[in-house]
Amino acid sequence: MATGASPVSVVAAETAGTPGQFAITDREFRRFRLLVSQQTGISLGDSKRQLVCSRLARRLRHYGYATFSQYYEHLMERDPDGAELLRMIDAITTNKTDFLRESHHFDFLRSELLGPLVAGARAGAPRSLRLWSAGCSSGEEPYSIALTIVDALPSAWTRDVKILASDIDTQVLAVAMEGVYPLDRVAVVPAALREKYFLRGRGGREGFVRVRPDVRQLVRFRRINLREDAWPIRAPFDCIFCRNVIIYFDRALQQRLVARFVDLLKPGGYLFLGHSESLLGMRVGLRCLGKTVYQKVDEPVVTTAGPGAGRA
């Protein structure tokens, strides 16, 4: 889905034409809508019918199926290891993301988290830092976090900095792990940062850049389905980025996810959401600092500020 990122990969709002000879019936659409919801938590409204039709048509062609019912039966009866189910999820989900997306979040990270970290370390406090990009898409968000950290902290202090980057989509994770992007993807990055933290490709890689090793080494990528009950996560985090992800879930799942994020934050830790996302009316252990930045507090409170609200 999210910046960084558009993060769990999320279903894009797009207009899809009729995919050639394939047409999806009402019953077939209901079955796939339920399956996608069960597997990912993503809620597909009626407006996504043509999107589902066009995205899954390629999988029908792959198997030579004539109907979506045949493909659904394949998923239910002829996919014992779940490999095709993963391909279906990858096909249904898509990702809108950029480097340094919603730049105010990275300004906040630099001033409110990294600045105090430097000051505290000088006074003998621990230097460790743990962050999570939940719904990292093709990697722009976690690498934006990493280059912000590398640029702000002395190199010796980044030895105990770890960034977990996760997504449900295996294809975008493969792109993210490679860390290679067309030049136009990094055009939004200030020139000074581009020169310091990206390597220009040569020969067959001309027109591309790769994230420098000292930035890439801070990030580890894993496939995590936010809807699942068990996440392979132990250590608490100083901050969690989950931007432009929960907007695609129903309210009950949003509340559940946010509560789990709060449990995984250190006292005083931060949660960053997307500009269109709000915790309005949720009873969670967070206070809104403005511009979709939330801080963990001791007692659950009912949030009253929506997206873009001023700092409390």
**Active site (catalytic) residues:** 55, 167
Half-sphere exposure of 265 (CA within 13 A, CB side): 25
CB contact set of 274 (below 8 Å; sequence gap of 6+): 2, 102, 243, 244, 245, 247, 292
Its sign, for the CA torsion 174, 180, 185, 191, is positive
Starting at the edge strand found earlier in the chain, the sheet holding 283-290 runs 219-223, 161-167, 129-134, 237-241, 265-272, 293-302, 283-290
Q: Residue 35 to residues 89, 172, 176, 194: CA-CA distances in angstroms?
A: 10, 21, 27, 42
Strands 237-241 and 219-223: unpaired
Q: Residue 19 to residues 24, 35, 114: CA-CA distances in angstroms?
A: 10, 21, 49
DSSP states along 95-164: ----TT-SHHHHHHIIIIIIHHHHHHHHTT----EEEEEET-TTTHHHHHHHHHHHHHS-GGGGGGEEEE
